[in-house]
Chains A and B, each alone.
Chain A
Amino acid sequence: MQPAPRTEGRWRGWAAPLLLVVAAAVALLVLRPWSAGGSGQRPAAEDAPAVTAAAGATDAVDAGAPVDGSPSVEAEQLVDGPIVPARLTIPAIGVDARVESRGTVSYENPFTGQQVDGYGVPTSMATTSWWSDGPQPGSGQMAVVLGHEDAGNGGAVFDGLIRLHGGDAVSMRAQDGSTLRLQVLGAPVTGLDKATSALADTLNAHPDGADVAFVTCGGEFDQDAGASEDNTVVFASVVR
């Protein structure tokens, strides 16, 4: 005589593989944004803010209309006053990226071990961030815009920042279409040692007429520290 089938035991047996499938699906969904574009980029391991699926990752250069989940930007209207930047375009190095607003963040400097105040960095390798605790672009005081640099395979938004030259065109556009025309002031400033105050010193002693400072990393990538050793800065002024 056959024993009666035990329904409860049968469902218990299915639970484990179902849970595995669900967990796998969730893991893949969470990881998928970083594989978009094929570069596998992610924000710097060095104290980058937590990344979520809503970060809106795209290719480092997403030319044309925004496809990275950022709200659409109105038609361009040239201004020379302060704006809250929503999009940054640097044709010379193929940058057309969303601009996030990031304030001041407390970090542990991996080179000094000290707790320091630093700039909030973009949540994506493909986007840039404006230091929202500082001046606005076009305000008459110098704004700071940051982007990642990938010391490995490349593919980060500011990989080409070091190739900019004086006079290269830059534009920053606000959500309402207000656009600042800028041009690069001179060659990039490189080799700003993160173990020192070189970055702050350079920014505080910025050239006359500098309205925006574009900041990224440079130099060797220190595996122990998990960070690039230097910073690179490019200054730009509003074309009035």
Chain B
Amino acid sequence: MSQFTAPSGRMRRVLTVTTATIGLAFLPGVAMADGPDTDVLSSVVPSAPAAGLSPADLPGVVDELTEVPLPTEVPLPTGAPAPTGAPAPTDTAAGDSGLPSGGLDDSALAGLFTPVCDSGLLTGITLQLDALTDLLGQLPAPEAADMADAGDEVSSLGLIELPDTGTLPELPTELQDLVDGLIAGDLDPAALTDLLRELIPCPEETAPTTVGAGTTPGATTPTTTAPAVAPVAYLGYAPTGVDSDQDDSGVPLTAFGGVLLLGGAALTGLRLRNRAARATD
């Protein structure tokens, strides 16, 4: 076993192998469990020609990946673009022990999965077909190494050399369990789910944040907000004005009442006067 001097590089390689393995061998099943819309494997087939593969070749590729050893040195695929923004590997024989991350495009790997979250909890993963296509195109020849050996190596790396104070303190154990499951062909779905939740954390609900490894850099999820209150449609007419100077209705009505009262009183007086006159006669 080689000794590594760059924990972050080792971690990335571990994640590379693990993610590729999970993505190719298991995630289709996980995704299919979510429903027909997430049938990733069947979705991959139409995209495969872009990677130079025929649909019929894909299952074989997966099988071969699980049977043949990985290469000790990973050459860049012919015509594949060099990774940008990352230093080129300088001494793979000394430090990388044949793990393939140096030959893979980090951006393609990082964008392979994006999380689907509910209330801050990972509930699903979306496989980015473009990223997968790029990744498949960068994979080395299948006869290079044995996948089981790679799993052992990953297991060893995870147990021995992961940093003690890393940001993923539980990852080595979970990774070991996962790799053991991979080797034994008895993968615990719960362990896989836990690992994926560690690898692909959901952002905080109140503030969009960049998600972690295995996702598109800078990808965010929409901010969760409180249920919106129905907006009020305010009315546009308020007849609240009056001009008492021009108000000529109140006074006449009052005057009318007064006239009626005076008229009644006058008539009453007239009647009384006539009656008194008749009585005198």
Residues of A within 8 A of B (CB): 10, 13-14, 16-21, 23-25, 27-28, 31, 34-35, 39-48, 104, 107, 109, 116-119, 121-122, 125, 131, 134-135, 140-142, 144, 146-156, 158, 194, 197-201, 203-204, 213, 215-218, 221, 223, 227-228, 231
**Other-chain residue from B232, B239, B262, B271 in contact with A44 (beta carbon distance below 8 A):** B239
A156: chain B residues at CB < 8 Å are 242
In the complex, per-residue mask of B249-277: 1 if CB is within 8 Å of any chain A CB, else 0: 11101101111111111011001000100
- Whether A116 pairs with B240 at a CB distance below 8 angstroms is no
Chain A CB count within 10 A is highest, among B233, B242, B256, B259, for: B242
Chain A CB count within 10 A is highest, among B232, B245, B251, for: B232
B254: chain A residues at CB < 8 Å are 27-28, 31, 35
B233: chain A residues at CB < 8 Å are 200, 204
**Other-chain residue from A14, A28, A46, A199 in contact with B241 (beta carbon distance below 8 A):** A46
Q: Which 8 A-B pairs have the closest CB atoms?
A: A228-B241, A217-B241, A200-B236, A118-B237, A152-B245, A20-B264, A27-B257, A24-B261
Question: A24-B257, A204-B233 are known contacts; what are 17 more A-B pairs with Cβ within 8 Å?
Answer: A10-B275, A18-B268, A24-B263, A24-B264, A27-B260, A28-B258, A31-B257, A34-B250, A42-B250, A107-B239, A116-B237, A147-B240, A156-B242, A199-B238, A215-B240, A216-B238, A228-B242
- Whether A118 pairs with B238 at a CB distance below 8 angstroms is yes
In the complex, per-residue mask of B202-240: 1 if CB is within 8 Å of any chain A CB, else 0: 000000000000000000000000000100111111111
Residues of B in contact (CB 8 Å), total: 36
A197: chain B residues at CB < 8 Å are 236
Closest-by-CB residue of B relative to A198 is B236
Q: What is the distance, in angstroms, from B11's C-beta to the closest C-beta of chain A?
A: 47
Q: What is the distance, in angstroms, from A38's C-beta to the closest C-beta of chain B?
A: 11
A148, B254: Cα distance in complex, Å: 22
- Whether A215 pairs with B243 at a CB distance below 8 angstroms is no
A147, B240: Cα distance in complex, Å: 6
Instruction: Assess whether B280 is interfacial by the CB under 8 Å rule.
Output: no
- Whether A121 pairs with B238 at a CB distance below 8 angstroms is yes
Interface residues of B in 165-224 (CB under 8 A from A): none
A142, B231: Cα distance in complex, Å: 10
Instruction: Assess whether B2 is interfacial by the CB under 8 Å rule.
Output: no
A169, B206: Cα distance in complex, Å: 35
Q: What is the distance, in angstroms, from A14's C-beta to the closest C-beta of chain B?
A: 7
A44: chain B residues at CB < 8 Å are 239-242
A17, B266: Cα distance in complex, Å: 8
Residues of B within 8 A of A (CB): 229, 232-247, 249-251, 253-254, 256-265, 267-268, 271, 275
B265: chain A residues at CB < 8 Å are 17, 21
Q: Is the interface of A mostly helix, strand, loop or mixed?
A: mixed
B268: chain A residues at CB < 8 Å are 14, 17-18, 21
A142, B247: Cα distance in complex, Å: 34
- Whether A118 pairs with B232 at a CB distance below 8 angstroms is no
Closest-by-CB residue of B relative to A112 is B237
B246: chain A residues at CB < 8 Å are 152, 221, 223
A207, B114: Cα distance in complex, Å: 39
**Other-chain residue from B245, B263, B275 in contact with A153 (beta carbon distance below 8 A):** B245
